[in-house]
Amino acid sequence: MDDLYLDNIDEFVNDQNKIVTYKWLSLTLGVHVNLAKQVLHHYLDRKRNESSALLHATYLVSGKFVENGTTSHMVSVVQEDHLTVSVHVYSVQKAVLKDSGPLYSVDYDAVKENLRNCSRYSAIRCADAVPMSSTAVQQAHETAQAPPPETAHTKSGINGHSSLASKPTSKQSKGVMGMFANKNVSKNQESSQERTLEQREDAPVVETSKTKSAPKTHSMSNFFGNQATKKPDKSIKEEAAQMSSSVDEKPSSPVPKAETPVKEELPKGAVVEKDSSKSKRLDHSDSEEKNTSQKKQRRRIKKPQSDSSDDEVIPDSPPQLQEPRGPSPSLVKESFAFSHSDERSDCKRRKRRRVLKSRTFLDDEGCIVTEKGYESESYSETEDDFKASKPSQKNPDPPKPSTGKKEEEEEEEKRRKMVVAASNKSTKQASITGFFQKK
């Protein structure tokens, strides 16, 4: 069975050029983390013995750490070159990793899929760790947000020392990052808060290696992430602080080591929560991240939606059109069409429009005259509301003040009937009536 695992790792590392962390391996193969670590260790040994390996490994080191006379428990991931004591293999990959970022990326998807049971294969157990209720989570959230300045003054010399130590390094980092406008104050507060929260716990310190968040200045700097508005992140991943085998640091000597964790923690925005379980924290953090990423995505989505909706919506016509307006007939017809559809949804509205209508009437000589003219007519949603006013028959082109459509039709029919009656008396020619009925 071991051989099978070793073959799998071989395939992942050599063929697929992946970074294989113990966590990822345990989730992928469905085995306990300790077994995964052992398997990785065996694999590394075997490959080293065969001397064919161009493999590199990182190690997780933990132990007591003495800083300024205070001891604390520290966990970090280091390159094997910087190793003094080997504890267990963290990952195996072909490339030399310049920083610890990819280590987090590798585990991200696997942990996300197994969010509910990511501690299934884990060796860390605590009987008191139970998932928090949502109300408790909210309270913790609020208390964490509310007094950021207080945390700087709460505790004893530990905090005092740490805040002192953090100040010069924060100034250094300010110098480097001073080019970006908005970072400084909130970050310092965050970092001081982190330090105090962290020092309260002596137990396994699990810190995030989450990166700094730059505020969103404008839309083009979206890739900075939408972190500035975010509360101090409560997500937990294993720390990869010492991975900064960056050029100017010598991790072997203790003095720079004292500075580097402080320096590293500052840019990372690490927050440690007191009472919640690991899975719950991950859950909460991931859901937060999801929310913010979703919000960001939704923001992105909302923009195009609002743009498209601006195109589609035809501006409403005002509720009461003023009299003689004089628009062209086509425009009038369009507005009529829109107002017609609109009125169905709205409550009763009176609208006026000018419509080209033809009217027939009998003149003095008894001749039927057809005249075309613009009339403004008032139109409302329900036909019951028509205001009736009888049009004058002998006026060729008066603007009818308020004429219901229905009534006009009725009158036209009356005229037609009159005409028909008149024509019937005179002749029996159907052609004349046919002329009128064509309407």
Provide the binding-site residues for other proteins, judged by CB under 8 A. Answer: 17-19, 93-102, 104-106, 108-109, 176-177, 179-180, 209-214, 220, 222-225, 227, 246-248, 267-268, 289-290, 293-294, 297-298, 300-301, 303-305, 307-308
In the complex with other proteins, which residue's Cβ is closer, 89 or 332? Answer: 89
In the complex with other proteins, which residue's Cβ is closer, 237 or 352? Answer: 237
The DSSP symbol for 221 reads G
Q: Closest approach of Cβ 221 to other proteins, in Å?
A: 8
Q: Closest approach of Cβ 19 to other proteins, in Å?
A: 6
In the complex with other proteins, which residue's Cβ is closer, 73 or 290? Answer: 290
In the complex with other proteins, which residue's Cβ is closer, 297 or 393? Answer: 297
Q: Which residues of 212-247 are buried (b: 16+ CB within 10 A; e: fewer)?
A: bbbbbeeeeeeebbbbeeeebbbbbbbbbbbbbbee
Q: Closest approach of Cβ 105 to other proteins, in Å?
A: 4
The DSSP symbol for 11 reads I
The answer to whether the beta carbons of residues 375 and 357 sit under 8 Å apart is yes
Parallel/antiparallel/unpaired status of strands 88-93 and 20-21? antiparallel
Which H or E element spans position 166?
helix 157-177
Compute the distance between CA of residue 163 and CA of residue 320 in angstroms, rounded to an integer.
Answer: 69
Compute the distance between CA of residue 133 and CA of residue 130 in angstroms, rounded to an integer.
Answer: 9
Q: Token digits for 358?
A: 């033809």
Compute the distance between CA of residue 169 and CA of residue 192 in angstroms, rounded to an integer.
Answer: 12
Sheet holding 70-79, edge to edge: 20-21, 88-93, 56-67, 70-79
Q: Closest approach of Cβ 214 to other proteins, in Å?
A: 7
In the complex with other proteins, which residue's Cβ is closer, 200 or 296? Answer: 296
In the complex with other proteins, which residue's Cβ is closer, 112 or 153? Answer: 112
Q: How many residues does the chain have?
A: 439
Half-sphere exposure of 79 (CA within 13 A, CB side): 17
In the complex with other proteins, which residue's Cβ is closer, 81 or 248? Answer: 248
In the complex with other proteins, which residue's Cβ is closer, 188 or 423? Answer: 188
Q: Closest approach of Cβ 33 to other proteins, in Å?
A: 21
Cβ neighbour number for residue 319 with a 10 Å cutoff: 11
Q: Closest approach of Cβ 415 to other proteins, in Å?
A: 48
Q: Closest approach of Cβ 243 to other proteins, in Å?
A: 11
Which residues, at least 6 apart from 246, have a Cβ–Cβ distance to it below 8 Å?
A: 99
Could you give the 3-state DSSP secondary structure of residue 77? strand
Q: Closest approach of Cβ 213 to other proteins, in Å?
A: 6
Task: Specify the residue for token string 């995505």.
Answer: 297
The DSSP symbol for 154 reads S
Q: Closest approach of Cβ 162 to other proteins, in Å?
A: 21
In the complex with other proteins, which residue's Cβ is closer, 286 or 334? Answer: 286
The answer to whether the beta carbons of residues 212 and 237 sit under 8 Å apart is no
